[in-house]
Amino acid sequence: MRRSSRRVTQAEVARLAGVSQATVSHVLSGSSEVRIGEETRQRVLDVVRRTGYTANPVAQRLAGGRNRIIGVFTYEPVFPRDRSDFYHPLFVGIEREAEAQGLDLLLFTSAPVRSGRRRLLDDGASRLGMADGCLLLGQHDDKRDLAELIGRGFPFVFVGRRESDAGLVPYAAADYAAATQAVVERLVDLGHERIGYLGDLGPNESHKDRRAGYHAAVAAAGLRPVLLDGTSIDGDTALDLLLDNRLTAVAVGDFVLPHALLDAARRRGLSVPGDLSIVQLGDPSAAHTAELSGFRIPREEMGTAALQILTGIIAGDLPQEQWQQTLPCSLITGETAGPPTTPTTTPRRTPALSGAAGSPAPVDPTRPGDTAAAPTSEDPA
Amino acid sequence: MRRSSRRVTQAEVARLAGVSQATVSHVLSGSSEVRIGEETRQRVLDVVRRTGYTANPVAQRLAGGRNRIIGVFTYEPVFPRDRSDFYHPLFVGIEREAEAQGLDLLLFTSAPVRSGRRRLLDDGASRLGMADGCLLLGQHDDKRDLAELIGRGFPFVFVGRRESDAGLVPYAAADYAAATQAVVERLVDLGHERIGYLGDLGPNESHKDRRAGYHAAVAAAGLRPVLLDGTSIDGDTALDLLLDNRLTAVAVGDFVLPHALLDAARRRGLSVPGDLSIVQLGDPSAAHTAELSGFRIPREEMGTAALQILTGIIAGDLPQEQWQQTLPCSLITGETAGPPTTPTTTPRRTPALSGAAGSPAPVDPTRPGDTAAAPTSEDPA
DNA sequence: GATCGGCGCTGATGCGCATCAACGGTGAGG
DNA sequence: CCTCACCGTTGATGCGCATCAGCGCCGATC
């Protein structure tokens, strides 16, 4: 095991080919301004082939060139243990695009996950510079992180829409607003007049967009919006909330609640969609989408698009108008949306929970997005 | 957006602290031989804090230091689309250990997957040098890859046992031999006298180990080994093969076949384990393990162990005896292994498939591992 | 015949850091 | 008093590469 065998350098190749190191560099760079004679070029390439020379990416990078490495920062573990891999579809798209473009991916796993999230500024910032640019993924979007990144002028792209006062935030996002509007409009078309929104009422962009779509559809139909806080409540509590508000349809913006709600409704003898229509606003867990009406988030495409934007920014040939891309969601017809029926039986309340303290109260803001803050949701993108 | 704001360098810190760049380097390196006065040290650290200086990993690496980046090379896509993520449990362990040690992970996604696998030497070789060391994962183990890596003296660790003529191959592997031996011994204890091995008969180490365990158990019991090629056959064909050989129990070393075989047997009215006991030799898809007897591969631990070995090698403080680690598999009792019953009904053959051409013939080698070559299996580790 | 421009190539430089040899200073020992 | 060891610090060097300015050479032009 000869540890001595150091790797071949350009200087070595140059010596063997009888040229200068600079010439080797030019030959290998290819599309340089400098011209190299065909004979010399072939001589160099021959030596490269014979010696098996391969460029040292580290030196390339230090010398100011690109190294075709893309950093990937996730606020949560890339490979979670507990549930099915949330990032997986995103990474499928990212890896495919990386392979297509010949890029390597640097996962910033060194930043420890503390209280559920990684910290970009404290731990990851230094390592960022290793890559040509960086992809950001995850539910958190510390405004300081964004401002810092923008301030540095370091190329980055967020997966999921983000906004910052510090400047333009490049992103690849799903069009939650349009998709939500579409599914709520469908409920309107089906004849519903009391359509609620149950979900995260916090400032996260992905939920703001859903609410905006909801408000647009409801307003267009001349209906009254009913916003309910759906964070950290179970299916029964949610159902009570809906019944209290005498809703016939609800758009649910959380990604476990729709199933819990469906279960609770059926358990109590309510017919879905007969007595209650349920649409879910995007669902990361494809396994459960079979039945529920709603829409699908184009995660794989988001990953691909994000990486394409990033390489465009790095190359400097992507106009700023294209730094933000919004991808359409595909609608899922499902089986939980249907025309409302006049209730023949009085909806049964759960006695124990009826009017229980701590049950979230309905919110009815005058302006979209102007609702009470709520804990962060479980849906990062 | 001031793209001009270049990042802070040691030289910058040195200037502000009124010391030399070398001093800054020494202060930050910490455990150097060189001593720095406490006052100077604090002055430097203050400036570092104020400026938010962070070391440039590229320069660190080029200058001969470590950069705390671990390369990860997989022969197949890291994030596969078609089936449940095979690498996932491995990566869970790797990521956890990387986080614990403050390491970043560089995924070599730039090497295109051609005809089902990535090529290490052609595409990935150059990029390898970017990292302090490298983890190799996947079903293929090109002997030239191994020889090349060993020859370079580049630190690497394989996940899964690998051997090479070129030298010691560091790995973290599952103890397939012991686990297989244990489950086959259990079949022996249950009273079986005709126990077959159905699986990959190729040279892949993971299958060689399984066969070795099988042979050990069978030989100890004074039984005759029956090796059957289980690659690329369906459940019915496999079942015919077993019936032809009048086996009462079989150890199956492929990871979809056991389920197909079980289905086929039950479909044909055979009782399992009454008429036929089936044990599977490790199963990557945890979703299906509920029923089948066999053993579980400690994938997460393999990932963790591999990374620990690698950092040990990089640090130079891991004795060579510990460069290869074999982890025990946990046995799964399951419901498909039981005592044999004297067959009251003649096993039913499928007429159409009986003796059909192309049906793999049984193999009965005199020496373990000395069997006909077979296509690569689906089990990488 | 002197000038010019373009072609083909090279020397020098620096990226940011780790590392080494060495230097001045200080106190202890002879 | 001189020597010596040791401490704290520094200048110099090089990692492998990209890049820039510029060199010598050639034929073409005036």
CATH number of domain containing B45: 1.10.260.40
How many CA atoms lie less than 13 Å away from B216 in the CB half-sphere?
16
Report the pLDDT value the prediction gives residue B342, as an integer from 0 to 100.
61
Contacts of residue A62, defined as CB under 8 A and 6 or more positions apart, other chains included, come to: B56, B58, B59, B62
Establish if B167 touches chain A: CB-CB under 8 angstroms: yes
Cβ neighbours of residue B211 closer than 8 Å, sequence gap 6 or more: B180, B197, B199, B201, B227, B253, B368, B369, B371
> Which nucleotide lies nearest residue B12, CA to C1'?
C16
For residue B237, is pLDDT > 60? Answer: yes
List Cβ neighbours of B216 (8 Å cut-off, separation of 6 or more).
B177, B181
Task: Name every chain B residue with its beta carbon within 8 A of the beta carbon of A299.
Answer: none
Buried/exposed B258-280: b ≥16 CB within 10 Å, e otherwise: bbbbbebbeebebebbebbbbbb
Pair (B50, B34) in one structural domain: yes
B216, part of any domain: yes
Q: Is A13 on the interface with B (CB under 8 A)?
A: no
Between positions 48 and 107 of B, the ones with CB within 8 A of A are 52, 54-59, 61-62, 67-69, 77-81, 85, 88, 91-92, 94-96, 98-99, 102-107
Strands (E), chain B: 69-74, 104-107, 133-137, 156-159, 171-174, 195-199, 226-229, 249-252, 277-280, 293-296, 324-327, 330-332
CB-based contact (8 Å) between B352 and chain A? no
Helix (H, G, I), strand (E, B) or coil at B156: strand
Residues of B in Cβ contact (< 8 Å) with A96 = 77
**DSSP tag of A341:** -
- Report chain A's mean pLDDT, rounded to a whole number: 81
Which residue does chain A place closest to B102, by CA atoms? Answer: A110
Q: Report yes or no on B365 lying in a domain.
A: no
Question: Which of these ranges, A73-77, A315-319, B121-125, has the smallest mean pLDDT?
Answer: B121-125
Residue-wise pLDDT tens digits, A35-57? 888 888 999 999 988 887 878 77
Summarised one tens digit per residue, pLDDT across range A124-182 is: 455 777 788 899 998 777 788 788 788 777 889 999 999 888 899 999 999 999 999 99
| Window A17-36, strand D contacts by Cβ < 7 Å | 21-22, 25-26, 28-29, 32-34
Contact B279/B336 with Cβ under 8 angstroms?
yes
Is the model's pLDDT at B98 over the cut of 90? yes
Q: What share of chain B is helix, strand, coil (3-state, %, to 5)?
A: 40, 15, 45
The tokens 């993924």 sit on which residue? A137
Tell me, yes or no, whether A313 and A169 share the same domain.
Answer: yes
What is the four-CA torsion angle of B219, B221, B223, B229, rounded to 10 degrees?
-60
Residue B376 lies in a domain: no
- Would you say residue B240 has pLDDT above 80? yes
Predicted local confidence at residue B247, as pLDDT: 92
> What contacts A30, CB < 8 A, 6 or more positions away?
none
DSSP state of B122: I
More confident residue, A377 or A80: A80
3-state secondary structure of A326: strand
CB-based contact (8 Å) between A267 and chain B? no
What the block records as the tokens of B226 is 């029956």
Q: Is residue B185 part of a domain?
A: yes
Using the CA of A36, give the nucleotide whose C1' is nearest.
C8
The reply to whether residue A98 touches residue B110, judged by beta carbons under 8 angstroms, is yes
Contact A99 B108 (CB under 8 A): no
At B291-306, the pLDDT tens digits run 889 998 999 999 999 9
**Domain range enclosing B205:** 176-292+334-353
Is residue B215 located within the same domain as residue B340?
Answer: yes
Chain A nearest-CA distance from B302, in A, is 15
Instruction: Report whether the peptide linkage leading into residue A273 is cis, meaning its omega lies within 30 degrees of zero.
Output: yes
A336 in the same domain as A220: yes
B136 and B155 within one domain: yes
Report how far apart, in Å, the C-alpha atoms of A105 and of each of A96, A109, A132, B84 are.
11, 12, 10, 21
Give residue A350's pLDDT band: very low, low, confident or very high (50, 70, 90): very low
Strand C bases with any atom < 7 A from protein Cβ: 7-12, 14-22
> Does the CB of B25 sit below 7 A from strand C?
yes
Give the CA-to-C1' distance from A185 to D12 in angstroms. 73
| Residues A140 and A33 grouped into a single domain | no
Residues A221 and A338 in one domain: yes
Which CATH number characterizes residue A90's domain? Answer: 3.40.50.2300
A190 and A276 fall within a common domain: yes
**Span CA (B226) to C1' (C20), Å:** 66
- Show which positions of strand D are touched by protein (CB under 7 A): 7-12, 14-22
**pLDDT given at position A354:** 37
Q: Give B-chain residues touching A168 at CB under 8 angstroms.
A: 1
A46 CA to D23 C1' in angstroms comes to 27
Answer with the residue of higher pLDDT: A297 or B79. A297
Contact A279, A336 (CB under 8 A): yes
Query: Residue A131's pLDDT is what?
Result: 81
CA distance to partner chain A, nearest, from residue B145 (Å): 14
Range B215-233 average pLDDT: 91
CB A367 within 8 A of CB A333: no
pLDDT for residue A357 is more than 50: no
Looking at residue A162, the DSSP 8-state letter turns out to be: -
Residue B362 lies in a domain: no
Lowest-confidence pick of A321-330, B1-10, B242-251: B1-10
Length of chain A: 381
Tokens 């049964």 appear where? A348
Q: Which residues of A touch B3 (CB under 8 A)?
A: 153
Residue B373 falls inside a structural domain: no
Q: Quick one: closest CA in B to A153, which residue? A: B3
Residue contact B127–A92, C-beta within 8 A: no
Strand D neighbours among B 3-62, CB < 7 A: 18-23, 26, 34-37, 39-41, 59, 62
Sheet holding B249-252, edge to edge: B226-229, B195-199, B249-252, B277-280, B293-296, B330-332
Which of A7, A78, A153 faces B5 most closely, judged by CB atoms?
A153
Q: Look up residue B380 and give its two tokens.
A: 């990488």
* B227-236: pLDDT as tens digits: 999 888 888 8
Each residue of A367-380: b (16+ CB within 10 Å) or e?
ebeebeebebbbbb
Percent of chain A's residues with pLDDT above 70: 82
Checking each nucleotide's C1' against the CA of A39, the nearest proves to be C8
The verdict on residue A377 lying in a domain is: no
Comparison of pLDDT for A84 and B130, the residue scoring more: B130
Does residue A129 sit in the same domain as residue A201? no
Q: Looking at residue A176, what is its pLDDT?
A: 95
Q: How far is the CA of B39 from the C1' of D18 (A)?
A: 40
Query: CA quadruple B231, B235, B239, B240: dihedral positive or negative?
Result: negative
Reply yes or no on whether the pLDDT at B371 is more than 50: no
State the average pLDDT over residues B40-69: 83
pLDDT at A211: 95
Q: For residues B214 and B338, state if they share a domain.
A: yes
Could you tell me if B152 and B226 lie in one domain?
A: no
Banded pLDDT at A348 (limits 50, 70, 90):
very low
Q: What is the pLDDT of residues B322-363, one digit of tens each?
A: 999 999 999 988 888 989 886 544 444 444 433 334 334 444
Task: Write the pLDDT tens digit of every residue in A52-92.
Answer: 787 877 888 888 767 788 999 988 888 876 655 678 888 88
Residue A213 pLDDT: 95
Q: Lowest-confidence range among A207-216, A300-309, B53-62?
A: B53-62
Q: How confident is the model at residue B369 (pLDDT cuts 50, 70, 90)?
A: very low
* Paired strand residues for B134: B71, B156
Q: What is the pLDDT of residues B141-198, one digit of tens each?
A: 778 878 878 877 788 999 999 988 889 999 999 999 999 999 999 999 998 999 999 9
CA of B209 to C1' of D2 (A): 75
Residue A63 lies in a domain: no
Compute the mean pLDDT over every residue in chain B, rounded to the nearest whole number: 81
Per-residue model confidence (pLDDT) at position A232:
81
Give the rounded percent of residues in chain B with a pLDDT score beyond 90: 34
B residues 97-126 lying closer than 8 A (beta carbon) to A: 98-99, 102-113, 125-126
Strand partners, A114: A117
Q: Based on the structure, what is the number of domains in chain B?
A: 3
CA-based nearest distance A14→chain B, Å: 18
A124 and A103 in a common domain: yes
Burial of A291 (0-12, 13-18, 19+ CB in 10 A): middle
Preceding amide of B258 cis, omega within 30:
no
| Predicted pLDDT of residue A143 | 81
